[in-house]
C-alpha cells in the first residue's frame, strides 16, 4: 500500500491522552467527533466518554498478555482509526492503550476516521468504513496487518445475528455492550497478542 498515506496519517495522529481530551473538549461544546453532527451521535459520544473513563480505571492487562509482551523483540506501532461516537471503539481503544502502556515496544497512535478518508479506504471491512480499525506497523511504518473492528468472538456474534435477523438492531447493540462489559477486554487482548506473535 501507499506508504505516503500512512506517513500523512501518523503526522495527524493523537496519543491516547490527546484523543480522550479532544473528545471531552468537543463534548463541552455539545459536539461529537467526525463530519456528521446530530443529537444521537452526541448522546452516543457522551455515553462512550463515560465508558472510557470507567475502562481507564478498571481495565487490567492479564498476566498472559504481560508475559507475551515481555517477549517482544522488535518495535510496533498500533495506528488506530476511530471516532468518539463509536460504541465498539469505546470498548476497544482503552484496551489497546493498556496493552501499549504495558510495553516499551508498542507505540499507540490514533486518528479520526472522517479526517483520514484515504487511510480508511485502504482498510475497509466488507466494503464498509467499520471502526475501530487497528493497523499494525513495523519499525519502518510498513503495514504488517490490520485488525478490527471487533474481537473475533464479537465478530462471530454479529455475523450470526445478521444471518438470523437480517439487520443489527438496537437490542443486539445493547447485548453486545453487555458482552464487552463481561469480557473485560480479554478477547481484544488475546486477538492482539496472536497478531503480535504472528508478526
Render pLDDT for 158-181 as a digit per residue (tens, 0 to 9). Answer: 999 999 998 889 899 899 999 999
| Beta strands across the sheet bearing 143-147 | 106-112, 76-82, 133-137, 143-147
Asked if residues 27 and 44 have their Cβ atoms less than 8 Å apart, the reply is: no
The three cell numbers of residue 196 are 503480535
Predicted TM-score of the model (pTM): 0.96
Q: What is the pLDDT of residue 47?
A: 96
The DSSP element (H or E) to which 17 belongs, if any, is helix 16-28
CATH architecture group of domain 3-198:
3-Layer(aba) Sandwich (3.40)
Secondary structure of 77-132 in the HEC alphabet? EEEEEECCCCHHHHHHHHHHHHHHHCCCCEEEEEEEHHHCHHHHHHCCECCECCCC
Longest dimension (CA), the chain: 46
* Three-state secondary structure call for residue 184: coil
pLDDT in tens, 32-83: 999 999 999 999 999 999 999 999 999 999 999 999 999 999 999 999 999 9
Amino acid at each position: 500500500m501507499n506508504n505516503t498515506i500512512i506517513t500523512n496519517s501518523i503526522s495527524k495522529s493523537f496519543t491516547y491522552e490527546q484523543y480522550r481530551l479532544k473528545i471531552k473538549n468537543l463534548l463541552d461544546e455539545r459536539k461529537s467527533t467526525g463530519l456528521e453532527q446530530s443529537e444521537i451521535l452526541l448522546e452516543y459520544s457522551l455515553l462512550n466518554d463515560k465508558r472510557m473513563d470507567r475502562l481507564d480505571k478498571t481495565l487490567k492487562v492479564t498476566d498472559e498478555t504481560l508475559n507475551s509482551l515481555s517477549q517482544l523483540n522488535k518495535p510496533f506501532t498500533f495506528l488506530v482509526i476511530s471516532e468518539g461516537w463509536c460504541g465498539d471503539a469505546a470498548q476497544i481503544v482503552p484496551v489497546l492503550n493498556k496493552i501499549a502502556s504495558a510495553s516499551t515496544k508498542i507505540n499507540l497512535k490514533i486518528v479520526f476516521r472522517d479526517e483520514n478518508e484515504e487511510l480508511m479506504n485502504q482498510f475497509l471491512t466488507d466494503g464498509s468504513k467499520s471502526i475501530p480499525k487497528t493497523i499494525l506497523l513495523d519499525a519502518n511504518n510498513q503495514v504488517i496487518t490490520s485488525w478490527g473492528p471487533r474481537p473475533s468472538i464479537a465478530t462471530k456474534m454479529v455475523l450470526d445475528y445478521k444471518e438470523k435477523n437480517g439487520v443489527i438492531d438496537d437490542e443486539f447493540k445493547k447485548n453486545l455492550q453487555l458482552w464487552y462489559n463481561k469480557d473485560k477486554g480479554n478477547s481484544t487482548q488475546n486477538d492482539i497478542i496472536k497478531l503480535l506473535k504472528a508478526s
